[in-house]
Structure 1
Amino acid sequence: MPYYVPVLLNLADRRCVVIGGGPVAERKVTMLADAGAETVVVSPDVTDGLLRLLHEHHRVVWIQREYQRGDLAGAFLAYAATNRPEVNAAVAAEAEAEGVPMNDAGDGARGSMITPGVLRRGGLVVAVSTSGAGPTAARELIREIDEQFGENYEKYIDFLSSARAFIKERISDPGRRKRLFRRLAETDIMSSIRGGSFQPWNEAAMITWIEEQTEE
């Protein structure tokens, strides 16, 4: 079994190519469109859902024909999502030759990457993979994680994001900023969130907290 290295990619304005127009391709395109990628779909036909995406997202472009070698030119990522193994294999071969990271939806071992199951709670992103051994098991794990973490962690991550942004804006000294980040991580916010008493910190509350840390 391959040893996959998990990464989180910023795909905004990146050219990503999806070969195929069926339900699997639709899921890939939806993910890429949500990420702000410049998404190119190559397929003679597409699902109704993909047609809606084409109308809703100006960054999604449909090339209405069969795959041709050269379609991956300039791609940052590629997905082979057809129901024809020989086409997916040809896409994999081009991706390998061009150095383009590629996922083969029909045979994960043939591509250089796989797409994990993902749970999103605001800024919190939890990715789960079974290294291609069992997508159904990955989905079940995602469900269990969702039940465990719930909305509390979404509120917590949103708080951390806004607080860190405030500190970065107000505190220029790197050493002091680093100490405040550490104190922020040590502050027990989750207890008040779980107890239902948490209130988002406004500017005055943030300034007061920063001053209290400085005094200690």
Structure 2
Amino acid sequence: MDKYYPIMVNIQNKRCIVIGGGKVALRKTKTLLKYGAKVTLVSPEIDEEIKKLFHKNKIEIIKRNYEYGDLEGATLAYIATDNEQVNELVLKESNSKNILVNCAKNPEDSDFIIPSSIKKGPLSISISTEGKSPMLAKKIKEDLELIFKDEYETFIEELGKIRKMAIDNIDDIKVRRELFKELVYGSLLDDFMDNDIDDLEDEMRRIYMKYKMGSNTKTHRKR
């Protein structure tokens, strides 16, 4: 049976604790900052790159050994040390306070793992082999990056605008479904990727207006 439940977590402005001050802790910290977390790092020794983040006021640093209670108020905790004693103490506190923890050295002790991922604006794709083959996860990521190029970010942003307009102005859910079906399953994305569309926003709005006018006509006839 699969151990991990796939989920997307909003950590914007949430407190996340990183125990450790080396290269692994640096990678964890950078990823957390990318998604808007408020990061506190606890370690007596601090990597120079981590210090730069501190001096830019991007993170908080507690420059000492971990102490029980440091996880208070945390949404997520990350163990990035080789000190087994410290790791056990962090796990004990996280378990007692129901704080989800990720342990870099011993994944089997983790409540969650960090999948390999691709992000193009609002599009996030995560790849996980549940720790069985990180190298394969990396290869799959590289393969997917060849498919999901930067154009997807623009396409999704415009889809989001049309979706809001449709929800606000087209009452018939069947008409909305047909609109979204044409936008997503039609040739629009391929044409945009092939540079056959001069203005994606205008083309999407043209298609939207077709369905909006059709919906209004049907509503008028019923009356």
Structure 1 and Structure 2 fold alike (TM over 0.5): yes
The alpha-carbon deviation at position 124 of structure 1 amounts to: 1.4
Distance 1:159 1:200 in 2: 11
CA distance in 2, matches of 1:31, 1:69: 25
Aligned pair 1:43/2:43, yes or no? yes
**How does 1:134-145 map onto structure 2 within 5 Å?**
134-145=133-144
Alignment partner of 1:10 is 2:10: yes
Corresponding residue of 1:158: 157
Q: Distance in 2 between matches of 1:27 and 1:174?
A: 47
1:206 and 1:147 map into 2 onto residues whose CA distance is 25
Identity %: 30
Question: Structure 1 residues 174 and 37 mapped into 2: Cα distance closer, same or farther (>3 Å)?
Answer: farther
User: Is 2:169 the partner of 1:171?
Assistant: yes
Higher mean C-alpha deviation, range 152-161 or range 63-72:
152-161
Equivalences for residues 10-159 of structure 1 within 5 A: 10-58=10-58, 60-159=59-158
Q: Give the structure with higher Rg (CA).
A: 2
Return the TM-score normalized by structure 2: 0.84
- CA root-mean-square deviation: 2.3
Unpaired runs of at least 5, structure 2: 216-223
Do 1:12 and 1:36's aligned partners in 2 also have CA atoms closer than 8 Å?
Answer: yes
Distance (whole Å) between structure 2 residues aligned to residue 53 and residue 190 of structure 1? 39
Q: How does 1:173-212 map to 2 (within 5 A)?
A: 173=171, 175=173, 177=176, 180-202=179-201, 207-212=205-210
Q: Does the CA contact (< 8 Å) of 2:183 and 2:204 recur in 1?
A: no
* Count of aligned pairs between the two proteins: 213
Task: Tell me, in whole angstroms, the C-alpha distance in 1 between the residues paired with 2:20 and 2:54.
Answer: 14
CA shift, 1:72, in A, is 0.8
Distance 1:95 1:172 in 2: 48
1:67 Cα deviation after fit:
0.5
Task: Note the C-alpha offset of 1:6.
Answer: 1.1
Which residue identity lines up with residue 78 of structure 1 in the other structure? A
Q: Residues 159 and 200 of structure 1 are in contact (CA less than 8 Å); yes or no, is this contact kept in structure 2?
A: no
